[in-house]
Amino acid sequence: MGEDIVISARNVSKHFISHTERATSLKERLISRRSSQTMFHALNNINLDIEKGSTVGLIGANGSGKSTTLKVLAGILRPTTGEVSSRGRIASLLELGAGFNSELTGRENVYLNASLLGLTRRETDGLFDQILDFSELAEFIDAPVKHYSSGMYVRLGFSVAVHVDPDILLVDEVLAVGDEHFSRKCLAKIAEFQDQGRTILFVSHGLDLIERICSRAVVLDHGNVKYDGDPYFATGELRKILGTDLPEEIQDETPEGSLIDFGAVTFSHQPGSEAIAEFKPGQPLSIRAELSITDYWAAKVDKIQAVVMGVGRMPVWAMALDRDQLPNGGGHWALDFVVPSCPRTGGRFVVSFLLLAGNGTPMAMHQTQHAFAVEPEPGHSVGLLSVDYQTASSQIVPA
């Protein structure tokens, strides 16, 4: 394992014996010796190297193996085959619970949990006030946690996990439980961890969040790694698996087969020039999309829209090619959208193309598989829009 790899999984598979078949008593074991065990393949040959300081999102449909992966990486589940190694203290918040004893008070559970994670009593003493402050549970800390609400439970669990000075933080869908105020605190804490070079792995169904805070995302599908890399495209991949990449209403309208087939999409300074991925504000941007289309469908297209989307798939601006600008017959088309000057606000953008029929119904949609970035101009990094404005100030009443 290299110096900068903190968790490494090699050829990890995890198979479960289906629960209904498992013999839990001696009698069953003796009577039904390995009769018909059905295996559930939760993970198939997973290879992952998690680098120190990275924030990795694990995403996938329900039952795709996200939580199992997290548990295997945490060393709680043993892989059926393959190896997992890790370096440093691992704090984990798995499936909305932190391993609390419901009879004990919040305070006692903090000490218990910290000691399980390898802290001494004195170390915990030194951290206790910070943990309490962060959880905002001062008035309930001496009440048994069985009386806590699920939100309070998670607050305390998260607070312990982030204050025990973990090298690696594993979080399973926890931000969805706390209220907005607490979610923000968690995100701020995660940002702080990122600055401190700690490693974070988290499972979430909040794809916007994954795009926003992860440096890398892994898409799991039926226990296989489907994609591993840029969070933007990871979420795109997942949406394809989930079938949510197209707006709901056009799914049935999409022509059968590949009658409308998108090819490469390139970003460059001028139509046809060399492809680049990074732009500076004010530079020209040209987006070229290629597509193949049959005569039948070509005749039906009334308008082609290109929607440029930023963080969280938020549409930032849209451009349209009208009927009279489109070729008459089908075949292989090149569509050019030229922006004379990149926006000053900057950001990372993907483009989605929408083919619209005469009555406005969408016929097909395509989203780029790579992003282009615009470096924000100093002073314009906040906001979606940069407008022209004037400023003034005056002294109404002298001091």
Q: Going residue by residue from 87 to 126, which x/- string records binding to another protein, judged by CB under 8 A? A: xxxx-x-xx-xxxxx-xx---x--xxx-xxxxxxx-x--x
Q: For residues 130-145, b (16+ Cβ closer than 10 Å) or e, as one string?
A: ebbebbebeebbeebb
Q: Give the nearest distance from C-beta 371 to another protein in angstroms.
A: 34
- Is 24 or 390 the residue whose CB approaches another protein more closely? 24
Kindly identify the residues of this chain, within the stretch 266-295, that bind another protein according to CB under 8 A.
none
Q: Give the nearest distance from C-beta 86 to another protein in angstroms.
A: 7
Nearest to 266 by CA among 215, 312, 306, 212: 306
Q: Give the nearest distance from C-beta 14 to another protein in angstroms.
A: 9
Q: Give the nearest distance from C-beta 60 to another protein in angstroms.
A: 20
- Is 29 or 184 the residue whose CB approaches another protein more closely? 29
Q: Give the nearest distance from C-beta 220 to another protein in angstroms.
A: 19
- Is 126 or 312 the residue whose CB approaches another protein more closely? 126
- Is 27 or 181 the residue whose CB approaches another protein more closely? 27
Q: Give the nearest distance from C-beta 226 to another protein in angstroms.
A: 25
Q: Is the dihedral of CA 390, 338, 266, 356 positive or negative?
A: positive
Radius of gyration of the CA atoms of the chain, in A: 26
Rounded to whole angstroms, the maximal C-alpha distance in the chain is 95
- Is 101 or 270 the residue whose CB approaches another protein more closely? 101
- Is 29 or 280 the residue whose CB approaches another protein more closely? 29
Distances (CA, A) of 336 to 29, 169, 246, 281, 331: 68, 45, 22, 20, 16
**Binds another protein by CB under 8 A, chosen from 6, 154, 214, 218:** 6
Torsion of CA 39, 43, 46, 49, to 10 degrees: -140
Q: Give the nearest distance from C-beta 175 to another protein in angstroms.
A: 17
* Site stretch for another protein (CB under 8 A), options 161-169, 175-183, 257-265, 291-299: 161-169
How many residues bind to another protein according to rule CB under 8 A?
46
Q: Is 67 helix (H, G, I), strand (E, B) or coil?
A: helix
- Is 116 or 299 the residue whose CB approaches another protein more closely? 116
CB 349 within 8 A of CB 339: no
- Tokens 């120190």 locate to 52
- Is 198 or 366 the residue whose CB approaches another protein more closely? 198
Nearest to 159 by CA among 107, 211, 214, 105: 107
CB 43 within 8 A of CB 13: yes
Spatial separation of the C-alpha atoms in residues 74 and 53, rounded to whole Å: 17
Residue type, 64: S
- Is 68 or 268 the residue whose CB approaches another protein more closely? 68
Kindly identify the residues of this chain, within the stretch 49-88, that bind another protein according to CB under 8 A.
71, 74-78, 86-88
Q: Going residue by residue from 14 to 53, which x/- string records binding to another protein, judged by CB under 8 A? A: --x-------xxxx-x------------------------
Q: Give the nearest distance from C-beta 395 to another protein in angstroms.
A: 46
Tokens of 256: 């059968």
**203 exposure class (CB count in 10 Å sphere: 0-12, 13-18, 19+):** buried
Q: Give the nearest distance from C-beta 98 to another protein in angstroms.
A: 6
CB 67 within 8 A of CB 203: yes
Q: Which residues bind another protein (CB under 8 A)?
A: 6, 16, 24-27, 29, 71, 74-78, 86-90, 92, 94-95, 97-101, 103-104, 108, 111-113, 115-121, 123, 126-127, 130, 164-165, 167
